[in-house]
Amino acid sequence: MKNDFIKLDGIDKKILKMLMENSRRPILEIAKNIGISGAAIHQRLRKLEKNNLIIGSSIKVNTKILGYSTMAFIGIFLDRATNNKKVVNQLKEINEILECHYTTGDWSILAKLICKDNEDLMEILTKKIQTINGVARTETYISLEQQISRQITL
């Protein structure tokens, strides 16, 4: 894999910081705050997108309002490392899984998921994850509270 790094100047960093705080912030507000034209902001954003530094924007949903109160991390042990791709393809079908990482250490896969409650978590574990062919066993860690949530500092 080739590493293509880009250099950010002070204006790029200011633009990114403002958008990382609120991705729906109007371009003209950013331009006014920085002291350059809206067209210049737009041009810089297109350059950052073209260079894959900006890979999207998103809205954060408060999952607790939707009734999801349990967040858990599942360490997944595979019976063979060669089953990784096959297992991950099946994990993709489980909507409650938010992230899935190929890891070093004891597990092959670390999955982050959100559930309505502990009973829902047990159901997902026993009926959806542990029944996947290639999964040898799992270890579950329930998050009591997310204490830090942030992006990289520019």
Tens digit of each residue's pLDDT (9 = 90 or more) over 37-92: 999 999 999 999 999 999 988 888 999 999 999 999 999 999 999 999 999 999 99
Please compute the mean of the pLDDT values over residues 19-24 and round it to a whole number: 92
Q: What is the pLDDT of residue 79?
A: 95
Q: What is the pLDDT of residue 80?
A: 93
pLDDT tens per residue across span 110-119:
999 999 999 9
The answer to whether residue 1 scores a pLDDT higher than 70 is: no
Q: What is the pLDDT of residue 3?
A: 59
Give 2's pLDDT tier (boundaries 50, 70, 90): low
Q: What is the pLDDT of residue 4?
A: 72
Q: What is the pLDDT of residue 59?
A: 86
Could you tell me what percent of the chain has a pLDDT over 70? 98
The answer to whether residue 25 scores a pLDDT higher than 90 is: yes
Q: What is the pLDDT of residue 58?
A: 84
Domains of the chain, first to last: 10-50 (1.10.10.10), 70-143 (3.30.70.920)
Please compute the mean of the pLDDT values over residues 109-134 and round it to a whole number: 98
Residue-averaged pLDDT of the chain: 94
Which backbone phi and psi does 82 adopt, to 5 degrees?
-70, -10
As a whole number of angstroms, the distance between CA 37 and CA 43 comes to 10
